[in-house]
Amino acid sequence: MIENETISFPTTCDGFIEVNLAQYILNRSTETDETNCDHWPCSNMYTRCDGFWNCMDGSDELNCSNWSSTCAANEFKCVSAETFELICLSAIHAGDGHVDCLGGSDERVYCRRQRPAATDERYRCWNSTECITVYRMCTNLEQCPFEDDKKFFE
């Protein structure tokens, strides 16, 4: 939540909840910048090729000429959840409900829906319903049941 700042237009309907806390409390509002986004295009001039997936299938980051990549224009670079090697995942597998990439980076809707207000909990543990912060991955504590958060750094 933002204390006394205005919410910038490009962050409207971007999948992350941001509210002006003072206005939210004063108006007793239940609406945020993510309310009524059903008809808002996830790929627009503010989100297209900005390096972040605003569309759940990552389509706003496909065919971007400003990124140097070894992957084809219709592929995403990610770490395989099975082999722990860097792969190029076809766009048709992104957002299809099956985790192909470590941390569920190809299935970003899951952690967003499970914990919409916890915008930093976006790493999905392998074969688990647990979503953790990227910062927790860097600790020596066991966070994920299958320790895939530790394998990421091996």
71 within some domain: yes
118 within some domain: yes
Tell me the two tokens of residue 111: 């952690």
51 within some domain: no
25 within some domain: no
32 within some domain: no
* Per-residue pLDDT band at 66 (split at 50, 70, 90): low
Label residues 114-141 b or e (16+ Cβ within 10 Å = b).
eeeeeeebbbbbbeeebbbeeeebeeee
152 within some domain: yes
Count of structural domains, the chain: 1
H/E stretch holding 26: helix 21-26
Give the domain range for residue 90: 66-154
At 20-54, the pLDDT tens digits run 666 666 666 677 777 788 777 888 888 888 887 88
At 83-128, the pLDDT tens digits run 889 999 999 999 898 999 999 989 988 888 888 777 788 889 888 8
Q: pTM score, two decimals?
A: 0.67
Torsion sign (Cα): 126, 128, 134, 135 = negative
5 within some domain: no
50 within some domain: no
